[in-house]
Structure formats: C-alpha cells, structure tokens
Amino acid sequence: MLKRTRLQWMYEVPKCVAQEALRDLTRASIRYRSGLSGRPVMKTKKRSSRAFRITNDRITVQNERVRLSKIGFVKLKEKNYLPSRGVRIFGATISERAGRWFISLQVSTEINVQINTGPVVGVDLGIRRLATLSDGTTVSNPRPFARFEQKLRRLDRALARKKRGSKNYADCRQRMSTIYLRITNIRKDTVHKATSRLARTKSVIGVEDLPVRNMQKNRALAKHIHDAAFGEFVRQLHYKTVWYGSALVRISRVFPSTKMCSRCGRVKRSMGLQERSYECGSCGLMIDRDLNAAINIKNVAAGSTDTENARLTGEVHAIVQVPWSDAGTERQAVTSADGEQMYLRVNRGGNEGGE
C-alpha cells in the first residue's frame, strides 16, 4: 500500500534494486549484531556511496555495451572487457565516483586449478614498506594519500571561500573527488599487482593476522594503515590463492614475529617501533627488522598444516563466483566488499579419476 501511494518512483526502477537494498540492510544489521562492524547508518543522497545492484534480471553483455532492464543499452567506455560468453551472470552493481559510472558483474565461471609448486614465502605487512618478503624482495608503499595531501588541502581551502551551490563550488568539489578516485586507483593497483604475483608464484603464503581495527585506534598510525590497506591485501590473497592453487596461512597475532630471532629463535622482551634492525644478543644476527619478521612468518607457514586451503591436493575443479569489473586496473580485479560472493566446489575423484 505504502509502495503504491507514496513511493510511486519504486515502479520506475527494477524491483530487485529495492530488494537488494533491503538485503544490504539485513546484512548490515547482522554484521552489527555480531560485532563485525558499527551500527548501520541511514543513507543519504549526499553522503552515501552512489550505487545500486541489479540481480535476477536479464542483463545482456555485448562487446561495446550492456543492456539493463528499464535502463536500456548503456555504452561501455572500455570495450571487450566484460565477459560476454562462457559465464553465467548473476547480477550487476552500478556505481558512481567522481562523475564516472562503473559497472561490475557477478559471474560464475569454472576454472581448473593446478596445485602451485612454487616456494613458501612469509610476508610482513608494514607501513614503511607495504610488504617485505622472506626472500628479501619488497613491495614499496605508494602512499598515494601523502602524495596528494597538499593538493587536497589547497582545494579544501579554496572550497571554503566559494559560495555553496555555485558553479565554482561544484567544480572544486569535482576536482577533489577526481583526486580521491586517483588515490583509490593507485592503492588498488599496487595491492592487486602484489597479491597476484604472490598467489601465482608461491605455493604457501604466510601472513600475520593483523589486528587492523585495534591499530586504527592509534590515530598517528591510522592514516598510514589506511593507506597501506592491510586488510585488503589479506582479503585478496584469500581468494587469489584459491584461483592459483596456492595456500594462505594466517598466523596468530600473538606470535612474536618481530621480537624473535629468525636464526636462533631467541625472543626479545621488547622491540621499539623505532628500531629498524634486529640485533640478536645470542647469535649475533643483524638483519632488517621486517625481513626478520617475514622469515619467522615463513618458518611458521612452512611447518603449518593449518592452512586455509592447503587441503586441496591433486587437480582441483573449482567453480568460483566472482564479480568482474570494468573499473579495475587488472582484469581479474574483484571489488566486492566481502568474500561472500566467492564459493568453491572441490571435486575429488569422480570423472577426473582422483582418489
């Protein structure tokens, strides 16, 4: 009733848009009640991310355009990108950032995963460097926010002088949001490249389960941690290791990776944040602080049987449902907010002739 009288506009959009929005609300309250996230807040036209989801709807993908019900054909800026055949499309998310519109599709596709035979590696995630690997290689932190901070501050001051609602005001806002979009893209690109390389070339990847939420309470560190996107790094490793047949080992945060000597195993009582190198009083080892931690993490990962997906042996037939995106910087980029959209069916024996 309410729908028919007061909410006429609801008939103008596909009905699944509203259903999906309600589903989001349900998910948000479940997450809130289980302590995973804060209290759900009301969406507003100004503040909220501008996005909607379409499911169960006929979505047609062609090389240069997509057809969405009630909207019609929409031309794609990046062509031949979205999968148009060989996959089942579940739904689409349409979003807007800095005046640009993005579409990401949720598709189901079958992949054959070969068990990865690469070396074992330990990864220490950091602020100074995004990642330090136990083999001595590093991934530097692009810190895009720091790079654009001054420019943003200048624009912010300029904005304050402009009249609200004026064209100048809108232009200024637009310039700022374009910079924020660039920051996001640089960050995304670095993390995607690093996690892909790891998942492709290593058999077992050890990472520390970082208490990101606790660390973010420390305001001085918070900005940099946000920049470094630790949580995102681990989340991507989680699904990419499934794709490339490698295993992810998350090591408990109580493990003294930083305080322990990676050669003799002695554990120091304390290790200040400023100490950049680990010097062992017992065996005399002198090593970069983060490299020492990475080696310790590797040693645990190598000996661990508690890997999240190391159970996979032999050839694995997996069905992975992933959103494809034309907004990402990498073709396999996944931008869903949680791992929920991914599932894996392991098929042992049967036609493949396993055990």
| Alpha carbon distance 56, 240 (integer Å) | 27
For the beta sheet containing 120-125, the strands, ordered from the edge strand earlier in sequence to the opposite edge, are 138-140, 129-133, 120-125, 204-208, 247-251
Min CB(262)–Zn ion separation in Å = 8
- Please report whether residue 283 would count as binding Zn ion according to CB under 5 A: yes
Q: Choose between 22 and 283: whose C-beta lies nearer to Zn ion.
A: 283
**DSSP-derived secondary structure for 137-174:** -EEE---HHHHHHHHHHHHHHHHHHSPTTSHHHHHHHH
Q: Residues 56, 60, 166, 282: which binds Zn ion (CB under 5 A)?
A: 282
Q: Choose between 285 and 346: whose C-beta lies nearer to Zn ion.
A: 285
CA separation, residue 207 to residues 29, 143, 237, 345 (Å): 30, 21, 9, 25
| Alpha carbon distance 234, 237 (integer Å) | 5
> In the stretch 53-72, what mask flags binding to Zn ion with x, by CB under 5 A?
--------------------
Catalytic, 279? Answer no
Site residues for Zn ion, 326-355, by CB under 5 A, read none
Catalytic, 208? Answer yes
Q: Residues 16, 68, 181, 285: which binds Zn ion (CB under 5 A)?
A: 285
- Please report whether residue 74 would count as binding Zn ion according to CB under 5 A: no
Min CB(290)–Zn ion separation in Å = 17
Stretch near Zn ion under the rule CB under 5 A, chosen from 89-97, 231-239, 278-286, 320-328: 278-286
Min CB(266)–Zn ion separation in Å = 5
Min CB(135)–Zn ion separation in Å = 20
- Tell me the number of residues near Zn ion by CB under 5 A: 8
Nearest residue to 82 via CA among 68, 100, 103, 67: 103
| Alpha carbon distance 18, 9 (integer Å) | 11
Stretch near Zn ion under the rule CB under 5 A, chosen from 116-124, 158-166, 283-291, 305-313: 283-291
| E runs forming strands in 222-355 | 247-251, 277-279, 286-288, 316-325
Nearest residue to 31 via CA among 338, 245, 344: 338
Min CB(130)–Zn ion separation in Å = 27
Min CB(280)–Zn ion separation in Å = 3
Nearest residue to 185 via CA among 215, 156, 148, 155: 148
Q: Choose between 26 and 277: whose C-beta lies nearer to Zn ion.
A: 277
Q: Choose between 76 and 287: whose C-beta lies nearer to Zn ion.
A: 287
Catalytic, 290? Answer yes
Structure tokens, 26: 């349900």
Site residues for Zn ion, 170-229, by CB under 5 A, read none
From the candidates 64, 78, 124, 156, which is the catalytic residue?
124
Structure tokens, 144: 């895009």
From the candidates 171, 208, 275, 326, which is the catalytic residue?
208
Q: CA angle 355-238-203, nearest 5°? A: 55
Q: Choose between 248 and 294: whose C-beta lies nearer to Zn ion.
A: 294
| Matching residue, tokens 């699944």 | 16
Min CB(282)–Zn ion separation in Å = 5
Q: Residues 251, 280, 295, 320: which binds Zn ion (CB under 5 A)?
A: 280
On the CB side of 274, how many CA atoms lie within 13 Å of its CA?
Answer: 0
Site residues for Zn ion, 257-276, by CB under 5 A, read 261, 263-264, 266
Parallel, antiparallel, or unpaired: how do β-strands 247-251 and 204-208 relate? parallel
Nearest residue to 250 via CA among 311, 308, 211: 308
Q: Choose between 119 and 284: whose C-beta lies nearer to Zn ion.
A: 284
From the candidates 290, 326, 338, 340, which is the catalytic residue?
290
Catalytically active residues are 124, 208, 290
Which stretches of the chain bind Zn ion, using CB under 5 A? 261, 263-264, 266, 280, 282-283, 285
